[in-house]
Structure 1
Amino acid sequence: MSSKNSALAHIARPYATALFDLANESGSLDAVEGDLVALTDLINESDDFSRFLRSPVIDGGDKRAVIDQLINKGDIGGVSANFLKLVARNGRLFALGAIISEFREMAADARGELTASVTSASPLTDEQEKALAEALKAKLGKTVSLDKQVDASLIGGLIVQVGSQMIDSSIRTKLTAMKIAMKEVG
């Protein structure tokens, strides 16, 4: 989930709003969200692709060519394809992850859902995702969609953020707390 006040959010929000409005008006909200979820999975699974999108060194024309190939081979069409081409043409691919996150928050809000940002040390299994979503629904009283990221530096556990609430059960955080406690003792 992007920070509401970050510079990246100021770039991402107008793009996400325009995409949401266009997808909603054209009746393709679910299809666009599905395309963006698949794209998010690709960004999260491929460090090379993620670096490629963010790199200021790679020529914009090269980035546009790769996006065109991705659209053609990835079965992305309609509103999603045109949107990706626009973002590439405007040189905003570095903000694509934040744009997608903003869009997904808008779509979830329109469905009356909450979005939880979940960071785990390794990809969650389908069963783990389902159990987490059910636990969050029981606690919050609303359907919760998961925006998943993987960060191996967590070692284990999860960091879950819903709005301003954060639950950090990562091993990295627990080890840091133990290190601080041991310094105070010694």
Structure 2
Amino acid sequence: MQTPSVGTGASVGLAGRYATALYEVADESRGLDQVVEQAAALARLIDESPPLRTLLADPTLDTKQSRDAVLAVLREQGFEAILQHFVGVIAANRRLPTLRAMLRAFAALVAARRGIIIAEVSSAHTLTDLQRTQLRARLTEAGYGRVDIHEQVDADLLGGLVVRVGARLYDSSVRSRLTRLNNAMKGAA
């Protein structure tokens, strides 16, 4: 995943260029907050809808078919014109398989420009409100002021957390502890 450079606010890669374009159009139209909210809703819709993910990735559909189908979904779900136009351009350019990555890059760009740090958290189970509060407090203690936590459940971790903040990775998962123990035992044999 390519994300915007926090230092300059500039985006890199294909997803970053599209994210920057969406940001600029939304900002110029004075509808940035609404587009941010709707882009997050579209990202959730993609994550929660296997048929939509299949549609986005289907190489057998021609450009017009895929564009019409995706735009019909957006209209049915009540998405505003800016996001519909953005997705229409993506479809016309045959980039629908990368739409989710573009929305991720857009969220990262918005966060960077607002001074918010994204913490990607993987856990074996959904975090409780208390765990979220404690995690946010620990991240604040570690020097991360405004933090937005993006959660993901990964049952393979067995327990614990994996937290990625920018280039830093904090891994306290049971899986990694077992791997380290296994490697240490092999070294001792």
Aligned to 1:84: 87
- Identity level (%): 35
Structure 1 residue 39: Cα displacement: 2.1
Q: Normalized against structure 1, the TM-score is what?
A: 0.81
Change (3 A) 1:166 1:172: same
Opposite residue 14 of structure 2, the aligned amino acid is I
Structure 1 residue 154: Cα displacement: 2.5
Opposite residue 102 of structure 1, the aligned amino acid is A
- Per-residue CA deviation, residues 26-77 of structure 1 (Å, 9 max, x unaligned), is 1211111111212222333345544543444555444323312321222211
Instruction: Give the alignment partner of residue 186 of structure 2, picking from 172, 183, 186.
Output: 183
Q: Contact 1:44/1:150 (CA < 8 Å) preserved in 2?
A: no
Q: Give 5+ residue unaligned stretches, structure 2.
A: 5-11
Distance across 1 between alignment mates of 2:106 and 2:141: 25
Structure 1 residue 125: Cα displacement: 4.4
- Per-residue CA deviation, residues 81-116 of structure 1 (Å, 9 max, x unaligned), is 211222122121222222112211221122221122
Equivalent residue of 1:27, what SS? coil
Q: Contact 1:53/1:94 (CA < 8 Å) preserved in 2?
A: yes
Matches within 5 A, 1:133-152: 133-152=136-155
Opposite residue 116 of structure 2, the aligned amino acid is E
Aligned to 2:24: 21
Distance across 1 between alignment mates of 2:173 and 2:51: 26
Q: Contact 1:44/1:149 (CA < 8 Å) preserved in 2?
A: no
Matches within 5 A, 1:156-175: 156-175=159-178
Larger radius of gyration: 2
Q: Does 1:105 align with 2:75?
A: no
Aligned to 2:43: 40
Q: Give 5+ residue unaligned stretches, structure 1.
A: none
Structure 1 residue 4: Cα displacement: 5.2
Change (3 A) 1:43 1:165: same
Q: Contact 2:158/2:174 (CA < 8 Å) preserved in 1?
A: yes
Aligned to 2:70: 67
Opposite residue 183 of structure 1, the aligned amino acid is K
Structure 1 residue 135: Cα displacement: 3.0
Question: How many corresponding residue pairs?
Answer: 182
Equivalent residue of 1:115, what SS? strand
Distance across 1 between alignment mates of 2:129 and 2:72: 29
Distance across 1 between alignment mates of 2:58 and 2:177: 33
Equivalent residue of 1:166, what SS? strand
Change (3 A) 1:129 1:92: farther
Distance across 2 between alignment mates of 1:20 and 1:11: 14
Distance across 2 between alignment mates of 1:48 and 1:184: 48
Q: Contact 1:36/1:100 (CA < 8 Å) preserved in 2?
A: yes
Distance across 1 between alignment mates of 2:60 and 2:134: 42
RMSD: 2.6
